[in-house]
Chain A
């Protein structure tokens, strides 16, 4: 069966709504044909990756849309940018004047197009987003996994331009994860055998996510044995890690994520793995590229830090200061930073030597500062990409280990955690 289009789409393809919409319809239809969809379905929300500057073509695309009268069909939020509009001082334009100016222009164009300027890779931490069962169009890999798994909304991973085309037309191909039959799990991970102490430590979700993603590749995993009170931050960590170490766009946690009240709801028979302590330790080894030793920087907030993570950071710092001169960066969104500011946490953190950049991703500040050497992080996704993207060594640890190491200036390992069996 071939793709069936309604009159609105047919007219749009012919240019009835102007050349911006004509291009948008053309892209959605092309994607639908390649995916083998029989129809297009309405989406109610979009989160764009195309605002992340990768070259002049991105700016030309956004400019073309605006010049040809494009209007968004649905509420559309933005991923983080390459520069911070809120704080241009984060990146002096002398760094790369052409790219800095083009990247700022790109972000302003998308704001002008009517996007909500959220500039975050963790849009699900902001209220007013999509809910269970909504069809949406998202590009950022961790947000795709989180919205699909934790919220129960439905999206494929829409790359740059196609994300915008879905937002402009309000349509997406009826294919892939938009359809019930493609949302069942292909393999099963048991974690019930692991000690409760593992489940309760924030490092667990990152290690488990890394292990599950690497084993699953592009398949959909289901995890059993997760604590029913697993925090949103842990679900974020799993979503982000399975998407970076594998290509996972949807996962299920039995009793934890909404489509998996019990295993049978998402999984029949098939490949099954019992997660062992040795595998968690192996994941830790893979995420730590260097030996322990003096720390040159700490980078947190991949994906963007949540309000509850700020609360935990304050608790762990307990009034102490980061070692003088040690960069300690916590990336977040402007919305979350404002909430944290209102509680007095941002000024408290700044007094302790912590910086809280907004609008940008966590790779950005270390790159701009030219940070080298051994960088500590608690985020599996950051640990996965940073050695290649930034050429740094990574010491991977729990949030507590990051804080203690930053106070001491040297990697500190939690003896309680690493003596667990």
Chain B
């Protein structure tokens, strides 16, 4: 079991999707479909809906909170985002969506070592307190 720092809390679970390059939720991601658009991104075309998204850091954009909130509203967002570097924009967007729509996307941070261990899992469960348990296929 890994204990993460909780930026925005939600109890959830889902399949793991690892992004090796930082993703900007604004411009490089389409909230209407939940698909990564950025032609320069190695995971272009991947769908993030319902996944536990692992990426070390996010690419900053002042419009990212709106994009993540919109994806949560439309049900295309990840179930959770696990980062190494804390990201205020994602945490704020997820918190606003929880207030407006009654559902959230968990936003968590873990140390690098834990990140490397988590990325080997295929499915993760997350508690509202940030406890992460995983299973491999």
Is B92 touching A30 in the complex (CB atoms < 8 A)?
Answer: yes
Chain B residue numbers with a CB within 8 Å of A27 are: 92, 95-96
Is B88 touching A34 in the complex (CB atoms < 8 A)?
Answer: yes
Does B4 make an interface contact (CB < 8 A)? Answer: no
Q: How far is the CA of A23 from the CA of B72 in the complex (A)?
A: 17
Is A57 touching B86 in the complex (CB atoms < 8 A)?
Answer: no
Does B51 make an interface contact (CB < 8 A)? Answer: no
Is A159 touching B100 in the complex (CB atoms < 8 A)?
Answer: no
Q: Mark A172-187, 1 if CB is under 8 A from B, else 0.
A: 0000000000000000
Does A158 make an interface contact (CB < 8 A)? Answer: yes
Is A60 touching B95 in the complex (CB atoms < 8 A)?
Answer: no
Is B86 touching A34 in the complex (CB atoms < 8 A)?
Answer: yes
What residue in chain B is nearest A22 (Cβ atoms)? B99
Chain A residue numbers with a CB within 8 Å of B86 are: 34
Q: How far is the CA of A30 from the CA of B8 in the complex (A)?
A: 9
| Number of A-B contacts defined by CB within 8 Å | 93
Chain B residue numbers with a CB within 8 Å of A247 are: 60
What residue in chain A is nearest B87 (Cβ atoms)? A34
Does A93 make an interface contact (CB < 8 A)? Answer: no
What residue in chain A is nearest B72 (Cβ atoms)? A57
Does A112 make an interface contact (CB < 8 A)? Answer: no
Q: How far is the CA of A19 from the CA of B91 in the complex (A)?
A: 19
Chain B residue numbers with a CB within 8 Å of A140 are: 62
Chain A residue numbers with a CB within 8 Å of B67 are: 54-55
Q: How large is the interface on A (under 10, 10 to 19, 20 to 34, 35 or more residues)?
A: 20 to 34
Is A54 touching B95 in the complex (CB atoms < 8 A)?
Answer: no
Is B91 touching A159 in the complex (CB atoms < 8 A)?
Answer: no
Does A221 make an interface contact (CB < 8 A)? Answer: no
Cβ distance A53 to chain B, nearest Cβ, rounded Å: 9
Cβ distance B132 to chain A, nearest Cβ, rounded Å: 19
Is A61 touching B62 in the complex (CB atoms < 8 A)?
Answer: no
Q: How large is the interface on B (under 10, 10 to 19, 20 to 34, 35 or more residues)?
A: 20 to 34
Near A by CB (< 8 A), chain B positions 8-51 give: 8, 26-27, 31
Contact with A160, one of B66, B99, B101 (Cβ below 8 angstroms): B66
Q: How far is the CA of A157 from the CA of B65 in the complex (A)?
A: 13
Does A396 make an interface contact (CB < 8 A)? Answer: no
Near B by CB (< 8 A), chain A positions 140-162 give: 140-141, 157-162
Contact of A23 with B62 at beta-carbon distance under 8 Å, contacts A54-B67, A55-B67 already known: no
Does A139 make an interface contact (CB < 8 A)? Answer: yes
Does A411 make an interface contact (CB < 8 A)? Answer: no
Is A34 touching B91 in the complex (CB atoms < 8 A)?
Answer: yes
Cβ distance A285 to chain B, nearest Cβ, rounded Å: 20
Is A54 touching B7 in the complex (CB atoms < 8 A)?
Answer: no
Cβ distance B113 to chain A, nearest Cβ, rounded Å: 21
Is A158 touching B96 in the complex (CB atoms < 8 A)?
Answer: no
Cβ distance B89 to chain A, nearest Cβ, rounded Å: 4
Is A57 touching B62 in the complex (CB atoms < 8 A)?
Answer: no
Q: How far is the CA of A152 from the CA of B86 in the complex (A)?
A: 28
Does A77 make an interface contact (CB < 8 A)? Answer: no
Does B93 make an interface contact (CB < 8 A)? Answer: yes
Q: Mark A28-63, 1 if CB is under 8 A from B, else 0.
A: 001100110000000000000110101111101100
What residue in chain A is nearest B60 (Cβ atoms)? A247
Does A253 make an interface contact (CB < 8 A)? Answer: no
What 10 additional pairs, Cβ within 8 angstroms, besides A30-B8, A159-B62?
A: A23-B96, A34-B7, A49-B62, A55-B73, A56-B73, A58-B66, A61-B100, A160-B65, A160-B93, A162-B88
5 A/B residue pairs, CB under 8 Å, sorted by A: A26-B95, A27-B96, A30-B7, A34-B86, A56-B70
Top 9 A-B residue pairs of the complex, sorted by shortest distance between their CB atoms: A55-B70, A57-B69, A54-B66, A159-B62, A57-B70, A159-B89, A160-B65, A160-B66, A34-B86
